[in-house]
Amino acid sequence: MVKVNELRGIIYKNGLSQCKVAKKLNITPQTFYDKMKKGVFGSDEISIMIKELNIDNPLDIFFAEEVT
């Protein structure tokens, strides 16, 4: 499960919009928003975001355990 709020913060810190990140992932903005809502991305998409957004701690963001 993706920590969506942290990912949003990183996108903002990089001066990007979710729409621009969607373009980098070669998906539509609506698909990106849907994936953010579900908190699930494919491994290729995660890899691109780690690189493009200069994410230092990808495990903490993309592979967070859901607290029940």
Q: How many domains does the chain have?
A: 1
CATH number at residue 51: 1.10.260
pTM of the model: 0.88
What CA–CA distance (Å, rounded) separates 36 from 32? 6
The answer to the question of residue 68 being in a domain is no
Q: Residues 1-55: pLDDT tens digits?
A: 899 999 999 999 999 999 999 999 999 999 999 999 999 999 999 999 999 999 9
Predicted confidence (pLDDT) at residue 68 exceeds the cutoff of 80: no
Boundaries of domain holding 18: 4-62
